Copies of this chain bind each other. A is one copy, B any other.
Amino acid sequence: MAVHIMTALAYLAEKASSEVLARTVNTNAVVVRRILGDLNRAGLIHAERGNAGGFTLARTPKQISLLDIYRAVMEERELVSLHENPENRKCPVSCKVRGTLAAHLHKAQSVYERELQKVMLADIEQAM
């Protein structure tokens, strides 16, 4: 949804209200505003309040990557995460898998993110 919203903002190229954006996503304006809140806190958009308020991109579509959007809405959550069960002290596997696996998952996630970084909002918009 965040990418859909950002693409709409790029496509419209003008100030848009959460109402208008909600219509393109086919959802509720509040849902859209929640996402816009994340995007705003991440500095990807500008939000103007009050009468004639609305949202605009903070940078050009060429300067915004899918990774920027991903980070804005995902914050520190990981693609695949470890189980949270307490470790069994008597079991060497239980004590060590977590750390080892975390390192490998972290590596994989970083190549995923590097891939997202290559795609700019302009690339998506261009396909519209």
Contact = CB atoms under 8 A, between A and B. Distances in A.
Interface majority SS (helix, strand, loop, mixed), chain A:
helix
B26 A93 contact: no
A85 interface: yes
A114 B104 CA distance: 12
Interface in A22-71: 23-27, 66, 70
Nearest to A2: B83
Interface residues of A, number: 43
Contacts of A112: 79, 108-109, 111-112
Contacts of A4: 83, 93-94, 97-98, 101
Contacts of A123: 104
8 nearest A-B residue pairs (beta carbon):
A108-B115, A26-B85, A100-B127, A112-B112, A24-B91, A1-B83, A24-B94, A79-B79
